[in-house]
């Protein structure tokens, strides 16, 4: 009896971990519901063609005012005919809705996304100038809450699901900060049986 009783003992730390786990799962469930509502309510907006290089086209959302299109022109000497596709500049959630409501619904073969990692830090980069390498602030990877981060990402995953073909693939680039939680979201949105594999690179 004594041994059996010891097996059933639970340390105070285990209770804390269980509470944290339940809180995390509740946040994920709430974020997913918020995301579904956000995707339903988002307006697809409108996108207009700005520049065309034979088969290479730039399209810009009317609400996006910060994109400097001149800096995104093809490099000098590039063969425009060898580049096939369209570059859209604007809010990606509105763009996904725009594509899903048009000819792209269920037709995209592959999507690759590189979202913020939930590091809660300011992300910086570098740019080579005549004065040397200059550090630049890229974006703030900080959020009001874990639920807010998951809502933002889940809404876009829902949009991606709408444009993917039945055999389409989505690659989600993340690190250890949120990858396990996002896997749970992706299983719910795309179906657990559709998970293919995890790619780890260093």
Would you list the DSSP string of 12-60?
Answer: HHHHHHHHHHHHHHHHHHHHHHHHHHHHHH-----EEEEEEETTEEEEE
pTM over 0.85: no
How high is the pLDDT of residue 14?
A: 76
State the pLDDT at residue 11.
Answer: 66
Q: What is the DSSP string of the chain?
A: -HHHHHHT---HHHHHHHHHHHHHHHHHHHHHHHHHHHHHH-----EEEEEEETTEEEEEETT-----GGGGSPPTT--GGG--EEEEES-HHHHHHHHHTTTTTTTEEEEEE-------EEEEEEEEETTEEEEEEEEEE--S-HHHHHHHHHHHHHHHHHHEEEEEEEEE---TTTHHHHHHHHHHHH-GGG--------
**For residue 79, what pLDDT is reported?**
52
Mean pLDDT of the chain: 80
The most confident of the ranges 91-105, 111-125, 129-143 is 91-105
- Is pLDDT of 179 > 50? yes
- Across the range 116-143, mean pLDDT stands at 76
pLDDT (tens digit, 9 = 90+) per residue, 51-64?
666 556 767 776 54
Whole-angstrom distance, CA of residue 152 vs CA of residue 123: 18
pLDDT value at residue 22: 85
Indicate if the pLDDT at residue 70 is higher than 80. Answer: no
């Amino acid at each position: 009896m004594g041994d059996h009783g010891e097996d059933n003992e639970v340390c105070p730390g285990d209770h804390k971990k269980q509470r944290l786990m339940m809180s995390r799962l509740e946040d994920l469930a709430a974020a997913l519901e918020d995301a579904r509502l956000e995707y339903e309510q988002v307006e697809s907006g409108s996108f207009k063609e700005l520049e065309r290089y034979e088969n290479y086209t730039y399209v810009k959302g009317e609400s996006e005012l910060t994109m400097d299109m001149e800096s995104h022109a093809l490099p000098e000497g590039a063969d425009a005919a060898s580049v096939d596709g369209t570059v859209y500049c604007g809010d990606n959630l509105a763009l996904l809705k725009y594509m899903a409501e048009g000819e792209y619904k269920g037709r995209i073969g592959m999507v690759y996304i590189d979202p913020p990692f939930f590091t809660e830090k300011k992300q910086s980069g570098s740019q080579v100038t005549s004065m040397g390498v200059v550090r630049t602030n890229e974006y703030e990877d900080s959020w009001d809450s874990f639920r807010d981060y998951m809502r933002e990402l889940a809404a876009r995953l829902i949009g991606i699901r709408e444009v993917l073909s039945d055999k389409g693939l989505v690659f989600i680039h993340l690190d250890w900060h949120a990858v396990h939680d996002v896997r749970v979201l992706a299983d719910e949105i795309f179906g657990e049986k559709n998970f293919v594999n995890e790619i780890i690179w260093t």
